[in-house]
A and B are shown apart, each in its own frame.
Chain A
């Protein structure tokens, strides 16, 4: 049982242009933003990103790193429409596979189970079938004979997720009200990288919260990064809520200006830039 701790930079060094990358969380909730920021500091691009999209998608799209996006939505939650994602879509910045929220979950589940597809009722009659001509249907071999969508597996080269606690072996724990789909992202991926608010001894995990909070199993986790405030500016309940003011700043600032000011040499530079911005705001 190896120590899997590494830095965000080491995670990025294991990624490559052209990969299919799953990003956990949901909208502007518990996104692995420190890992996304590290990715933005690299020159990795040409990515196929699979995400219930939030600012992770907005930033990667704005920076031109996405070749193809697989999603059901992109939102900042309190700001319904993600402005940088919108701008990228409206200038035809990347290819899109747009599926329903339930189809998306089915695709991850199929990948986790090493199945080529899973049948799902969602999608029939809607334009998700029109805009993705590769989607096929499957007919029940039983008496009902129902025709369903055969949602293809969303197999990932790598997954990035953020949780509240993890040990050095890759056991991960969420402490908020919703696990989202982070375990599925890890199970659907060839390699999974977990950032966390705090790395603790294994024995601490079961003391912190009930056993059902132990979401990620080490056999699906490749690397563990300690990244306090690593979901900022998205929420990471119960430790912090969304930084609404900073999110507004992100949403209203032209991308080059935002990137120049906040995406410095490393995560410490990001935190210092956010602190500097906050002082300015308080004045």
Chain B
């Protein structure tokens, strides 16, 4: 049973919550959601998940608590949470933009707005998910800093960006100046493919590991329990 690219992405997202303990996992996007639930069912059983609305649910969807938006926002500031957000743009220091493309005063393309990116990044670990790795997303400088990167954080005490997962690999900021580093390649992806699709110079270690293989149990959970309809393939093809 060979894993698909989308399944490697699920595994890479799930790994963001390994050893996270009893905190709230807030995945945004389908593949991070499958990843968080996979982590909950396997190596991170104490995670809390929501139904995307106001209820805290277990892996089967049974409600175990209530978390309306007002409490969710308060919860963020307490820090017991690891969110994985999307990114319209992300730069080498992890600044993220979901607000608009172009000049903020008169944008070329209006996107969502800053949403909770500022509060997330200053208060709890924030990772990112990019389903289509390209130079349009991985840019030298974002047009509007929504999620705060390492060069803007001024050492803020609760600021941390554990990882960026894309359809090509996993990235982190484990470099002396906290600039982005290639941490692992999904099987079948080359270093050159990644550098071609990235609009800034990444740190590339001399030996880049592959994203780990899913276990047979994990593959079974993804395919039969968490996403039997195969919606993950619509977010990441190949």
Contact = CB atoms under 8 A, between A and B. Distances in A.
A48 B77 CA distance: 28
A124 B113 contact: no
Contact of B116 (A90, A101, A120, A178): A101
A102 to B, nearest CB: 4
B122 interface: yes
Nearest to A96: B104
A99 B114 contact: yes
Q: Could you tell me the dominant secondary structure of chain B's interface residues?
A: loop
A201 interface: no
A71 B105 CA distance: 15
A127 interface: yes
A126 interface: yes
A89 B100 contact: yes
Contacts of B104: 98, 127, 131
B146 A126 contact: yes
Interface in B87-112: 99-100, 104-112
Contacts of A179: 68, 70
Contacts, number: 123
Given A71-B113, A80-B112, A177-B66, 19 more contacts: A72-B113, A72-B114, A89-B100, A90-B106, A98-B104, A101-B119, A121-B77, A122-B122, A123-B119, A124-B118, A124-B122, A126-B114, A127-B144, A127-B146, A130-B145, A177-B54, A178-B53, A180-B68, A180-B69
Interface of B: 53-55, 66, 68-70, 73, 76-77, 99-100, 104-119, 121-123, 144-148, 152-154, 156, 158-159
Interface of A: 26, 53, 71-75, 80-81, 85-86, 89-90, 92, 98-103, 105, 120-128, 130-131, 177-181
